[in-house]
Amino acid sequence: MRKTSQPATEVVAKAPEPPRTWKRIAGIAAAAVSAISFITGVVAVIPILTRDATRFDSLVLTAEPFRPTVLDYAVPLDAPFDSFPLSDTTFCDPVQQAWLDEFGEAYTSRYMVTFQNNATEGSMLAMDDLRGEGDRVPPESTAIRVECDTTGLAPSNLRAARLDLSSSGEIAYFDDSALRDSPVPDSPVVLNLAPGEGAQLLLQLSSSTRFYGAVHITVRSGSDERDVVLPLPVEVLVPGLMVRGDTFVRASGSLSCIQYTDGNETPCVLAEVLPFP
C-alpha cells in the first residue's frame, strides 16, 4: 500500500510583542505632545483676550486742589481792609485767616487735573472744549481775590491753563508757565493721549459773575464723543471777582498787590486796587 505523504506544517514565527512598558511610554509621550500643543494654543490666545483697546472707560480722571495750604478768599472791596491785622510773619497767620473768614468767602481757584489713558492699544483719546456748566448770577458786591498762604513757602508761578466761568460758551485756554513747557499761550486746551499716555493740567478758575456748577470736557474716540465731568472734590463755586486781569492781593504778614504778567508775578500798587481811606 502506498503511503500518502502529509504536507509539512509551516511554522511562522510571531514577532515578539513590545513590552507593556514601551506602550505606556508611547502613550505618555503622545499625551504630552497634545498637552504642549494645547498650552501653546492657550498662550497664543491669552494676549489676544487680554488686549485692552481704547474705549471711553479707558480714560481715568483725578482732580485735587493745587497747594491746599494756600487758601483763596473773595473779599468785597467795601470790606474794612484798614482793620486787617498786620504782623511780622512771612505767611498768613491764624489771626489774619480769621479776619478773612469773617469778611471774605473761601473758595478753590486752582486744581491739578490728571488725565490717563489706560488702554494698551488702539486709537488716541482726544479731549477739548474744557468749559464750565452751571448757574451764573451777578455778584452782590465787587470782590477781589485774596491769597492766604499758611506756609509762607515761595509762590508757584506754574500756570498751565485758565478758565473764565463768567459766561457760557467760554472754554479753557493754555497760558504762560514758569516751567516754559506749556503749549502756545492763548491756544484752546486740547489734549491727545495715546494708549498708556497721561498728562497733568493745572487749571485756574476765575469769574466776574458768581458761578456754581461743574467743569466739563469733551472726550473723542474715533468718530464718537462723550461729555465728561471733571471729578473735582466739591461742586465748583467761584464768587464774582473784579475784572482786572490776574490781579490779586496776597496776605503774608502784610497785604501786597500782585499781578501776573507774561506768566510771572509782578508787584502792583495796592492803593490802586483797595479803597483805603
pLDDT in tens, 150-177: 887 655 555 468 898 998 888 998 875 4
With beta carbons less than 8 A apart as the criterion, state whether 172 and 130 touch: yes
Q: How far apart are CA 217 and CA 229, in angstroms?
A: 6
pLDDT for res 162: 86
Q: What is the pLDDT of residue 60?
A: 93
Length of the chain: 277
203 φ, ψ to 5°? -105, 125
173 burial type by CB count under 10 A (0-12 exposed, 13-18 middle, 19+ buried): middle
Amino acid at 26: A
263 dihedral zone (left: phi>0; alpha: psi -120 to 50; beta): left
pTM for this one? 0.73
Lowest mean pLDDT: which of 74-78, 180-184, 232-236?
180-184
